[in-house]
């Protein structure tokens, strides 16, 4: 009964909240508007925006020398999570069955283990850095911690459900993922989408000035 | 609540556009911007983390632009922006930020934190929470025409000396000249050698130029304090004078924020594009050199390094011209570590130099520049901003360093080939 609810209506509800919420947040940002820049440009705003979207995946030297821990932990977590989310066989099967109908090759089991270790190590290190470093401790709020805990829960239950031998574990994993989807649009987790916008706005401004940002 | 406070909140509200919303939505509180800020690196005080300086604006954004903020406001659970927030954050917004833009270059999600602080200052200024020194500078700029109180009479006296020293005529109010030149007050008062330098260079290169007696001041206190109306008025004076004289171009002086004001912010402040071009003096010198009109002779043997003024290089996009020019007169041009768009600020930009109470913090922040200089092993630093020059000289004196600071334009003039002869 509960299993059917998690598998059926709650999944539909959480996915709907996620999709509508994300679109609403992005639309709200765009609708806030931005005045056109009247200064004669030196370079291309479009090229600057495109460049910044990708160049900011690589850190400046100031960060590589002074902020190594969050930088390395950030890479571990994001790359690990991305691999788990889109290249774990159960996820590919789930996406094919419930959302897109499309599937693609999965990563081998050993790669799943490596990706999971990366993601766990990265997330734990980032969270420890958040609560221990004076700067991140000052900046952090409840939203940061809720987001970290929810993602951790999803990853943990996902690993427990990996063997696919015990149905309740799969349902717990799905339930935690659904909670994450519902929370997502109302939180800083939105940066997974809005980073493209923030990088683009800055890149466009700097691109007009002829500065590679 | 006071009327200025309400006005400040209203102005702050108006600053929240799509860019600001995207920036706040994207910030994950990673704190990496701290490592790019000289006020944090030199004090280890987490309050100087760039994004933390934006808490008041974030509070307003969260309350009025997010689900939880709106829900909290509806239920009376979220605290609104208060006068105490303005009061507590004033020093963070003005004393510990030079608008240098370094934080904007390192943010992983691409937030232009500098632009956010520039916009937040609009609200603070409207609410009356700004340093007295900057308020006074803005008042003098509007009433007298210059933040340092320099009038045309002062400039005229300086021009008379220049004409006597160079034996050349300095054109004033010449209708139809190609270029109208602006100065910063600091150049008129502290470094009139700059005026002499461009007079000689323009004469040698055959540049058609003039100065306007009605608008010669390039600095703009309005953009530093965050007062759009004042900034627009100051830009308008220059635009009106340039249109009256019918010039093709306006030359920004070496001063960094003057370039930012007239080149990049100006058209947006007055809501229209200019009918003329704006060039930085270094861009023009580089162009004259490329055209073969600026001929230089011999090179300095002393090792020299370059301090990149933030608003000209990182925020302004004039990156290669100073390097081309310095290379043409210096045999040993040695770049500092973290040069170009990632250079460290002198510590006195963004109005900090006009803010007396910020001096102890500014001198502490100068340690970053000192370290950068020490690592370079060079004792002669060339720059292209009168404000940087003053701040660097103060820091050098405070630290009892043996470093000379010279203007790039003046250095170029010293190597000018005039009438086939080296100066």
pLDDT score of A65: 81
Contact B23 A201 (CB under 8 A): yes
Contact between residue A202 and residue A52 where contact means Cβ atoms under 8 Å apart: yes
C-alpha A186/C-alpha A181 separation (Å) is: 10
The alpha carbon of A48 is separated from its chain's Cα centroid by a whole number of angstroms, namely 24
Phi-psi region at B405: left, alpha or beta (left = phi > 0; alpha = psi -120 to 50): beta
Say which CATH class B3-130 falls into.
Answer: mainly alpha
Residue A191 and residue B26: Cβ atoms within 8 Å?
yes
Q: Which residue in the set B21, B273, B315 is minimally distant from A38, CB to CB?
A: B273
Provide the pLDDT confidence category of residue B248 given band limits of 50, 70 and 90: very high
Rounded mean pLDDT of B307-324? 98
Could you report the per-residue pLDDT of B12-68, keeping only the tens digit for each? 999 999 999 999 999 999 999 999 999 999 999 999 999 999 999 999 999 999 999
- What is the mean pLDDT of the segment spanning B379-405? 97
Taking CB atoms and an 8 Å limit, are B341 and A211 in contact across chains?
yes
- Specify the residue for token string 């390192």: B106
Averaged pLDDT, B341-362? 96
Angle at B352 between CA B350 and CA B355, to 5 degrees: 135
- Position A63 scores a pLDDT of 82
State the average pLDDT for chain B.
96
Structure token digits, residue A68:
């190594």
CB contact under 8 A, A38 and B272: yes
Q: Does B71 touch chain A (CB under 8 A)?
A: no
Kindly state the average pLDDT of the residues B349-364: 96
pLDDT at A67 over 90: no
Look at B268 and A190 and tell me if their CB atoms are within 8 Å: no
Q: What pLDDT, on the 0 to 100 scale, is given for residue B421?
A: 54
Distances (CA, A) of B180 to A101, B191, B221, B231, B279: 66, 19, 21, 20, 10
Tokens of B312: 């000209």
User: Å from A166 to nearest chain B CA?
Assistant: 36
Distance from CA of B315 to the nearest CA of A (A): 7
Residues of chain B with CATH 1.10.1060: 3-130
The answer, yes or no, to whether residue B422 has pLDDT greater than 70, is no
Q: Does B68 touch chain A (CB under 8 A)?
A: yes
Region B184-210 average pLDDT: 95
Please tell me if residue B361 touches chain A, with a CB cutoff of 8 Å.
Answer: no
Q: Do A135 and B31 touch (CB under 8 A)?
A: yes
pLDDT value for A66: 78
- Rounded mean pLDDT, B260-268: 98
What is the domain range of residue A29? Answer: 2-209
- Kindly indicate the confidence band of residue B78, based on its pLDDT and cuts at 50, 70 and 90: confident
Among chain A residues, CA nearest to B344: A62
Taking residue A59's Cβ as centre, other Cβ atoms within 10 Å add up to 17
Contacts of B52 in chain A (CB under 8 A): 138-139
**Band (A34; pLDDT cuts 50, 70, 90):** very high
Q: Minimal Cα–Cα distance from A146 to chain B, Å?
A: 12
In CATH, what is the architecture of B305-422?
Answer: 3-Layer(aba) Sandwich (3.40)
Task: Tell me what pLDDT residue B125 has.
Answer: 98
Please name the residue of chain B whose CA is at the shortest distance from the CA of residue A49. B110
Q: Give me the CATH number covering residue A21.
A: 1.20.950.20
The structural domain count of chain A equals 1
Interface test mutation site (partner B, options A18, A38, A184, max chain B beta carbons within 10 A): A38
Q: What are phi and psi of B304, to 5 degrees?
A: -130, 145
B267 interfaces chain A, CB cutoff of 8 Å: yes
Sheet-wide strand order for B209-211? B209-211, B179-181, B249-252, B277-280
* B290 in A contact zone (CB under 8 Å): no
- In chain B, what residues touch A61 (CB-CB under 8 Å)? 338, 342
Q: Do A201 and B268 touch (CB under 8 A)?
A: no
Query: Is B128 part of the contact surface with chain A (CB cutoff 8 Å)?
Result: no
Those residues with Cβ within 8 angstroms of residue A96's Cβ, 6 or more apart along the chain or in another chain: A102, A103
Predicted pLDDT at B1:
61
Q: Tell me the shortest Cα–Cα distance from B152 to chain A, in angstroms.
A: 28
Our CA-based measurement puts residue B96 at a distance from the nearest CA of chain A, in whole angstroms, of 16
CB B200 within 8 A of CB B168: yes
| Separation between Cα atoms, residue B374 and residue A69, nearest integer Å | 28
CB-CB neighbors (< 8 A) of A194 in chain B: 22, 25-26, 109
* Per-chain mean pLDDT for chain A: 94
Contacts of A35 in chain B (CB under 8 A): 17, 268
| Residue B388 backbone phi and psi in degrees, to 5 | -55, -45
Tell me the residues of chain B between 16 and 35 that have a Cβ less than 8 Å away from chain A: 16-23, 25-32, 34-35
- State the pLDDT at residue A164: 67
* CA dihedral sign of residues B382, B387, B212, B278: positive
pLDDT confidence of residue B419: 66
Tell me the C-alpha distance between B53 and B51, whole Å: 5
Q: Which residues of B165-175 are buried (b: 16+ CB within 10 A; e: fewer)?
A: ebeeebeeeee
CB contact set of A76 (below 8 Å; sequence gap of 6+): A118, A119, A121, A122, A125
- Tell me what the mean pLDDT of segment B112-129 comes to: 98
Whether residue B169 has pLDDT greater than 60: yes
- Contact (CB<8Å) B18/A130: no
> Start-end ranges of CATH 3.40.50 in chain B?
305-422
Contacts of A84 by beta carbon, 8 Å cutoff, 6+ apart: A91, A112, A115, A116, A119, A155, A158
Backbone angle region of A88, left / alpha / beta, with phi > 0 → left and psi within -120 to 50 → alpha: beta
Residue A207 has pLDDT above 60, yes or no: yes
- The tens digit of pLDDT for each residue in A126-174 reads 999 999 999 999 999 999 999 999 999 999 999 888 876 788 999 999 9
Q: Terminus-to-terminus CA distance in chain A, angstroms?
A: 54
| Predicted pLDDT of residue A167 | 87
Is the Cβ pair B109, A213 closer than 8 Å? no
Contacts 24+ apart (CB under 8 A), A57-63: A59/B32, A59/B106, A59/B108, A60/B36, A60/B105, A60/B106, A60/B342, A61/B338, A61/B342, A62/B35, A62/B36, A62/B102, A62/B106, A62/B338, A62/B342, A63/B32, A63/B35, A63/B36, A63/B106
User: What are the tens digits of pLDDT across the range B265-285?
Assistant: 999 999 999 999 999 999 999
Cβ atoms B61, B16 nearer than 8 A: yes
Give CA–CA dist B58/A39, Å, rounded.
28
Mean pLDDT value across residues B343-362: 96
Q: Look at A27-36, A160-169, B188-197 and tell me which has the smallest mean pLDDT.
A: A160-169
- Contact criterion met (CB < 8 Å) for A32 and B316: no
Distance (Å, rounded) from C-alpha B121 to C-alpha B98?
Answer: 12
Check CB contact of B110 with chain A, cutoff 8 Å: yes
**Which range (A37-41, B6-10, B190-194, B415-419) has the least confidence?**
B415-419
Interval A175-195 mean pLDDT: 97
Cα–Cα distances (Å) from B347 to B40, B137, B391, in that order, read 12, 18, 7
Residues of A in contact with B19 (CB under 8 A): 34, 198, 201-202
- How far, in Å, CA of B60 to CA of B12, rounded? 8
pLDDT at residue A26 greater than cutoff 90: yes
């Amino acid at each position: 009964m509960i299993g059917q609810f998690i598998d059926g209506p709650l999944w539909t509800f959480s996915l709907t909240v996620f999709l509508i919420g994300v679109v609403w947040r992005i639309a709200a940002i765009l609708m806030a508007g931005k005045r056109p820049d009247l200064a004669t440009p030196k370079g291309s705003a479009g090229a600057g925006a495109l460049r910044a979207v990708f160049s900011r995946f690589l850190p400046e030297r100031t960060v590589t020398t002074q902020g190594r821990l969050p930088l390395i932990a950030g890479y571990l977590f994001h790359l690990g999570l991305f691999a788990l989310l889109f290249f774990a066989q159960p996820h590919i099967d789930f996406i094919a069955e419930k959302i897109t109908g499309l599937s693609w090759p999965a990563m081998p089991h050993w790669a799943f283990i490596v990706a999971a270790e990366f993601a766990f190590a990265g997330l734990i290190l980032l969270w420890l850095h958040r609560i221990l470093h004076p700067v991140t401790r000052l900046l952090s709020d409840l939203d940061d911690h809720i987001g970290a805990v929810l993602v951790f829960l999803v990853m943990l239950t996902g690993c427990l459900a990996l063997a696919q031998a015990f149905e309740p574990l799969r349902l717990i994993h799905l339930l935690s993922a659904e909670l994450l989807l519902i929370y997502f649009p109302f939180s800083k987790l939105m940066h997974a989408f809005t980073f493209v916008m923030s990088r683009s706005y800055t890149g466009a401004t700097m691109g007009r000035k002829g500065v590679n940002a | 609540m006071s009327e200025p406070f309400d006005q400040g909140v209203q102005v702050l509200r108006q600053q929240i556009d799509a860019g600001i919303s995207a920036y706040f939505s994207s910030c994950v509180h990673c704190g990496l911007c701290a490592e790019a800020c000289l006020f944090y690196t030199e004090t280890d005080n987490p309050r100087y983390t760039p994004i933390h300086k934006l808490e008041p604006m974030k509070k307003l954004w969260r309350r009025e632009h997010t689900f939880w903020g709106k829900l909290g406001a509806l239920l009376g659970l979220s605290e609104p922006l208060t006068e105490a927030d303005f009061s507590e954050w004033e020093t963070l917004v003005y004393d510990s930020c030079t608008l240098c833009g370094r934080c904007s270059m390192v943010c992983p999600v691409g937030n232009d934190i500098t632009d956010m602080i520039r916009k937040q200052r609009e609200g603070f200024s409207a609410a009356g929470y700004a340093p007295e020194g900057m308020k006074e500078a803005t008042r003098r700029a509007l009433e007298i025409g210059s933040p340092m109180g320099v009038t045309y009479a002062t400039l005229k006296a300086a021009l008379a000396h220049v004409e006597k020293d160079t034996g050349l005529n300095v054109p004033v109010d010449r209708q139809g000249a190609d270029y109208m030149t602006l100065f910063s007050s600091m150049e008129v008062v502290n470094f009139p050698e700059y005026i002499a330098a461009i007079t000689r260079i323009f004469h040698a290169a055959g540049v058609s130029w003039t100065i306007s007696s009605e608008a010669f001041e390039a600095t703009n206190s309005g953009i530093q304090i965050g007062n759009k109306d004042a900034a627009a008025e100051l830009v308008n004076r220059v635009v009106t004078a340039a249109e009256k004289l019918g010039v093709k171009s306006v030359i920004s002086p070496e001063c960094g924020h003057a370039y930012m004001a007239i080149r990049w912010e100006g058209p947006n402040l007055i809501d229209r594009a200019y009918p003329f071009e704006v060039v930085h003096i270094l861009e023009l010198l580089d162009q004259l050199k490329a055209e073969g009109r600026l001929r230089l002779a011999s090179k300095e043997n002393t090792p020299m390094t370059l301090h990149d003024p933030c608003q000209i290089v990182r925020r302004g996009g004039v990156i290669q011209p100073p390097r081309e020019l310095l290379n043409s007169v210096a045999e040993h041009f040695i770049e500092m570590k973290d040069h170009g768009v990632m250079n460290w600020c002198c510590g006195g930009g963004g109005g900090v130099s006009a803010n007396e109470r910020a001096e102890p913090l500014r001198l502490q922040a100068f340690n970053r520049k000192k370290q950068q200089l020490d690592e370079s092993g060079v004792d002669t630093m060339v720059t292209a901003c009168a404000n940087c020059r003053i701040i660097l000289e103060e820091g050098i004196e405070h630290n009892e360093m043996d470093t000379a600071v010279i203007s790039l334009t003046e250095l170029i003039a010293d190597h000018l080939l005039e009438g086939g002869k080296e100066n």
